[in-house]
Amino acid sequence: MTVQSEDRSRPESRHASSRPPAQPLDRVEAAASDLLHAAKPRLRGWLHLGTAPLALIAGVVLVWLAPTAAARFASAIYAISAVLLFSTSATYHVGRWSRRTAAALRRADHSNIYLIIAGTYTPFVLLVLDGPLRTAMLALIWGCAAAGVLFKMFWLTAPRWLSTVLYLALGWVALLFLPDLVRGVDTAPLVLVLVGGVLYSLGALVYALKRPDPAPRWFGFHEIFHVLTIAAFVCQYIAVFFVVRTTG
């Protein structure tokens, strides 16, 4: 028996020969993923990565200090939506993913914007409003959030302007029950909620316009968007904390 025949008879040789060659499409996809990752600003996702554990700790504290079962439930909904927002965003933006995984994470990332809006409203609606108005507002807010999630699941490539309009529309639905909030919430948390809404809205505009883009290699327009979302979250977390502690 020749040496070549002996090599072919070895199990490892047969295994190597039966291994399918790398597909050209796989190589192209991997190269595209590398190029996309290299093109991102170097701080992309790291701000949300640092915020995610802080949001978790803040959420646990909020639930722990909530005085009633309703307040704990509302706090948990808010905390979960916040942790999902920052952790999913960090996972999507920091990691290097295949095309299919990146698309799934992007859907989740964009969908979480609807969830954080509804999650932020929940403590106010559940603890400040009552009767049919509370039920109607919860149904409206979470119904719109569910529709937004489905919208992102099935139309990931929707124009930025359309996504921005939908985010802003859900974000400012509170104007429908602003008089009731004014009667039931102290001035300080109400102002913080409005400031947070303005910051979220500015972030949405930066996301839609891709401007300003000060340092594309390190800190671009998307990082400004993330900074504004973090600042908005801090403002509204303080407002939620006040409402949970005083009206829960």
The pLDDT tens digits for 39-87 are 688 889 899 999 999 999 999 999 999 999 999 999 999 999 999 999 9
Q: Is residue 114 classed exposed, middle or buried when 0-12, 13-18 and 19+ CB atoms within 10 A define those classes?
A: buried
Task: Tell me if 48 is assigned to a ligand binding site.
Answer: no
Give the pLDDT score at 160: 87
3-state SS assignment for residue 177: helix
The residue written with tokens 């070549």 in the block is: 4
93, two tokens: 């933006």
Q: What is the model's pTM?
A: 0.82
Residues 136, 161: Cα–Cα separation, whole Å? 28
Q: Within the chain, where are the H helices? A: 3-9, 11-18, 24-39, 46-65, 69-94, 99-128, 131-154, 160-171, 178-184, 187-209, 221-247
Task: Tell me if 222 is assigned to a ligand binding site.
Answer: yes
Task: Tell me if 110 is assigned to a ligand binding site.
Answer: no
Q: Where along the chain do its domains lie?
A: 51-247
Give the pLDDT score at 36: 47
